[in-house]
Amino acid sequence: MKTIDIIVPCYNEREVIDLFYSECKKVTDRLEDYRFRYLFVDDGSSDDTLEKMKKLAENPDADYISLSRNFGKESAMYAGMKNSSGDMVVIMDADLQHPPALIPEMIEGIEEGYDCTATYRATRDGDPPLRTFLTNKFYKFVNRISDVDMPNGAGDFRIMNRKMVNAVLAMSEVQRFSKGIFSWVGFRTKWLSFEDVERAAGQTKWSLRKLFLYALDGITAFSTAPLRLASIMGFAVSFSAFVYLICVVAKTLIFGRDFPGYASMVTLVLLIGGFILLTCGILGEYVAKIYIEVKKRPIFIVEETSLDDIKEEYENEKNNKKIN
Ligand code: UDP
Ligand code: MG
């Protein structure tokens, strides 16, 4: 029998987690040819999500991993995949915005020979208009400048076979941008659409500020176009400056010295100063990324879990520390 792990990153989801499990079970219990396992990842919740998870893990088909703090959804998903063992892996949100009813069709995709069945939202009715507008603009932009294709509305709700999961795990960057990673690893992906729904309960963890920073990460993680833009800008400014220099020298030689010129001077100084700062800023974005990556910090840290094999590992580590 093929096994399927359902990975559910949860951050303060006390209001929906039980509902999620029962709703999802209704679908998976009907698929008798597969053995499902729910792997809840507690991403450092500050409410009693973990307690609820522990209760759920008393069921034979559920387990939990609790991270030592809030690492972000990307890291939580990675933690889940890293500790998955199923032939296939499903990733879905806890808030029921990802319809469990789609799961059978997603599995069919894999059975048809695809490596992955991914989903995208056909509508964005659950989101505020400003967010929708900015998101649309972001995807247009990022697809134009980066070497990966990120479909608008594509979320993390997907099923992958082991081959693809291993490829995703092999990309061990700390600053993860899954949408880009899923696309970058390649493989054959089937796309399904679903109608957007509002979350069942609780609140979204995204603020506009967080989304903006996320977008910036998405651009810098999969494209070096901004760096190239900096070089092009530098070249254009230098070239114009050179032409202007020739004009000024020629003018002085032909018409003699002329003192006024304060306005053009100030304008040029400010303009070029601005370009230099902007370029430094772009460089800084990438240097910051390199700085974080070279430290090779772990992507997540497990505090406790119901998974026996890794439990042992962490307990051994603790004991070793005591001996030392
Ligand atoms: N999530 C997480 N860590 C975080 C933020 C979110 O594990 O730091 C989880 C959250 O519990 C949910 C999923 O990621 O299961 C999607 O989060 P949310 O519903 O807030 O995002 P949205 O649907 O608004 O994009
Ligand atoms: Mg949501």
- pLDDT tens per residue across span 222-274: 888 888 888 888 888 888 888 888 888 888 888 887 777 777 787 788 778 87
Running DSSP on this structure, what letter comes out for residue 126?
Answer: T
Atom nearest to 71 CA in ligand 1 = 8
Can you tell me the distance from the alpha carbon of 163 to that of 170, in angstroms, rounded to the nearest whole number? 11
Atom 8, ligand 1: residue with shortest CA distance? 72
What mean pLDDT value characterizes the chain?
86
How many whole angstroms from 225 Cα to the centroid of ligand 2?
A: 31
Kindly tell me if the per-residue pLDDT of 318 is higher than 70: no
Residue 28 pLDDT level (bands cut at 50, 70, 90): very high
Residues 6+ away with beta carbon under 8 Å from 41: 7, 8, 9, 10, 64, 65, 66, 67, 76, 77, 79, 80
Kindly tell me if the per-residue pLDDT of 76 is higher than 90: yes
How many whole angstroms from 169 Cα to the centroid of ligand 2?
A: 24
Predicted model pTM: 0.80
